[in-house]
Chain A
Amino acid sequence: MTDDSENQGSDDFELPQSLRDKLKAAHESPPVPAELSAHLLASAKASYAIRLRRRRMIRWSALVGSAAAIIVLSILLLLPSHSSRQHLAQIGDVNRDGRVDILDAYVVAKAISTGAKLDPAWDVNHDGIVNQKDVDWIGAAAVNVTGNSNGASPQ
């Protein structure tokens, strides 16, 4: 019998109750001291509260950082370097409509799935190949509202 044979009939595998009891008895759970539980939970709650506060601080820091970045970006955009401006604007903007949205991801995904010619410029994650990772990168960029580049996903 192969290990991967798919059908062994019902998934309701039964063992005699006495054998189950024996198995369980041989695998007793060690007693968990109440102090350990209390300490663990208290630590978890305290850490959680700290993380929430830190997250709020990070958000404010991010706001300040975002504002600074926007100012820098604005200055960069006003500088007469057309090539760099175009590059910034076009990452992920596959259909060149001036924004990165799900249609850009769809165009790349469809091209991959149909075997159509893939534009090297679609290698938005710069790993040397145009594949689903680039589709997901664009999809993530399209829905990004918090500024975290790794935050989006289809799950």
Chain B
Amino acid sequence: MNPPTDRRSDQELIAAINAGDLSAFDAIYERHRDWVARLAMRFTGNPNDALDVLQETFTYLFGKFPGFLLSAKMTTFLYPVVRNLSIAARKRRLPGLPGEGFDSPGPELALNDDDEFPSMIRNLPEIQREVLLMRFVHDMSIAEIAEALGIPEGTVKSRMHNAIETLKADERLRKYFD
């Protein structure tokens, strides 16, 4: 993949689209495409569903122009969109599943099941696992996570702390921390 070439910030790109600069669509898409696809893949566990969610996410975002104003980071805005669209995608594919949450062993970390690693992460409580993955897989800051989940930063830190402590206590993960 080529590195993003447009140096404008997300806010500048949004303003540019609002003003009619169509090239800014490409820049926004190029910048966030893989982040959205990765997140959708985590939530849906299915590449086809993930691509559907990717399309729906950007269609939703671009449909807000002209006149879209962003008061947070783009990933903070996109996270709940991807999450909700993924829930809908899962419901379409697996109608019997609960709509909210991913507490049950869901599609997350369905890859590499020959490895013990996924189950170690999957065994974390959902609320801890989510913040851990948002931070270290999706590269979101504590503040962005808090805003995306609608919880205080202190709660995010607490969940993160507990998640890391749980991982440290797992004998099977000792090699990573030594």
> Do A and B have CB atoms closer than 8 angstroms in the complex?
yes
Write out, one digit per residue, whether chain A residues 109-138 have a CB within 8 A of any chain B CB (1) or not (0): 000000000000000000000000000000
Is A11 an interface residue when CB atoms closer than 8 A count as contact? yes
Q: How far is the CB of A136 from chain B (nearest CB, A)?
A: 17
Q: In the bound complex, do residue A27 and residue B58 qualify as a contact, i.e. CB atoms below 8 Å apart?
A: no
Within 8 A of A (CB), among B114-170: 117-118, 121, 127, 132-133, 135-137, 141-142, 152-155, 157-162, 164, 167
Which of B42, B62, B69, B135 is close to A47, meaning CB atoms less than 8 Å apart? B62
Given contacts A1-B158, A24-B137, A36-B51, contact A29 B173 (CB under 8 A): no
Q: How far is the CB of A119 from chain B (nearest CB, A)?
A: 34
Q: In the bound complex, do residue B177 and residue A16 qualify as a contact, i.e. CB atoms below 8 Å apart?
A: yes
Complex formed: what's the CA distance from A40 to B62 in Å?
A: 10
Which of B26, B55, B117 is close to A22, meaning CB atoms less than 8 Å apart? B117
Given contacts A30-B41, A32-B37, A41-B26, contact A15 B158 (CB under 8 A): no
Is B54 an interface residue when CB atoms closer than 8 A count as contact? yes
Complex formed: what's the CA distance from A22 to B170 in Å?
A: 16
Which of B22, B26, B47, B121 is close to A23, meaning CB atoms less than 8 Å apart? B121
Which of B47, B62, B63, B66 is close to A30, meaning CB atoms less than 8 Å apart? B47
Q: In the bound complex, do residue B160 and residue A8 qualify as a contact, i.e. CB atoms below 8 Å apart?
A: yes
Q: In the bound complex, do residue A6 and residue B152 qualify as a contact, i.e. CB atoms below 8 Å apart?
A: yes
Given contacts A6-B154, A20-B136, A40-B59, contact A28 B29 (CB under 8 A): no
Q: In the bound complex, do residue A23 and residue B55 qualify as a contact, i.e. CB atoms below 8 Å apart?
A: no
Within 8 A of A (CB), among B62-110: 62-63, 65-66, 69, 71, 109
Per DSSP, are chain B's interface residues mostly helix, strand or loop, or mixed?
Answer: helix
Within 8 A of B (CB), among A1-57: 1-9, 11, 13, 15-16, 18-20, 22-30, 32-33, 36-37, 40-41, 43-45, 47-48, 51-52, 55
Residues of B within 8 A of A7 (CB): 154, 157
Given contacts A20-B136, A52-B66, contact A11 B153 (CB under 8 A): yes
Q: In the bound complex, do residue A41 and residue B109 qualify as a contact, i.e. CB atoms below 8 Å apart?
A: no
Residues of A within 8 A of B162 (CB): 1
User: Which residue of B is nearest A51, CB measured?
Assistant: B66
> What are 27 A-B contacts with C-beta separation under 8 Å?
A1-B162, A2-B158, A3-B127, A3-B158, A5-B158, A7-B154, A7-B157, A11-B142, A11-B153, A13-B161, A16-B176, A19-B177, A23-B133, A24-B136, A25-B112, A26-B111, A27-B137, A28-B41, A29-B37, A29-B38, A30-B41, A32-B33, A32-B54, A36-B54, A37-B33, A40-B58, A41-B26
